[in-house]
């Protein structure tokens, strides 16, 4: 089973950054998604989250909280998807992930009025609300344990 992270990336005006990307698993197919991707071997969840934000958006971000955890399935594949909130801490640079086709900031009103068929999953709006209301779990509750060196 694979592990993925997703990021509710916010700016100072509570806008959310969404992407459209090539999708090898045919889940997002032209719909808006939050940035994110797979966790590499030996990488913590928070390290993967920071890396994915940078690769897919061009921003450096401060991870602020854990806002959701999901188990997904499609055909014979299953995965765990862990969603964090983050705030940008630097000016945008060029994203390095070639699979990103479009990135766009959405105001709170515009994002919350997107139809379900325009989003990869409607729980993105729930995760956004948890993030802006600061109801997520603190990042110090997210640990990486390497039992080989413990």
Kindly report the number of other CB atoms within 10 A of residue 27's CB atom: 13
Residues serving a catalytic function are 102
Let me know how long the chain is: 150
Asked if 9 contacts 83 with a C-beta cutoff of 8 angstroms, the reply is no
Burial classification of residue 70, based on how many CB atoms lie within 10 Å of its CB (0-12 exposed, 13-18 middle, 19 or more buried): middle
SS (H, E, C) 61-124: EEEEEEEEEEEEEECCEEEEEEEEEEEECCCCCCCCCCCEEEEEEECHHHHHCCCHHHECCCHH
């Amino acid at each position: 089973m694979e592990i993925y992270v997703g990021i509710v990336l916010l700016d100072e005006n509570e806008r959310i950054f969404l992407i459209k990307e090539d999708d090898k698993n045919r889940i997002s197919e032209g719909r808006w998604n939050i940035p994110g991707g797979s966790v590499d071997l030996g990488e913590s969840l928070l390290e993967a989250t920071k890396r994915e934000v940078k690769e897919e958006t061009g921003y450096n971000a401060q991870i602020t909280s854990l806002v959701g955890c999901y188990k997904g399935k499609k055909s014979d594949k299953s995965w765990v998807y862990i969603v964090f909130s983050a705030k940008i801490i630097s000016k945008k640079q060029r994203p390095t992930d070639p699979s990103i086709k479009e990135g766009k900031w959405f105001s709170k009103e515009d994002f919350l009025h997107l139809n379900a068929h325009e989003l990869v999953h409607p729980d993105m709006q729930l995760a956004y609300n948890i993030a802006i209301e600061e109801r997520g779990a603190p990042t110090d509750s997210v640990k990486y344990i390497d039992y080989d060196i413990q």
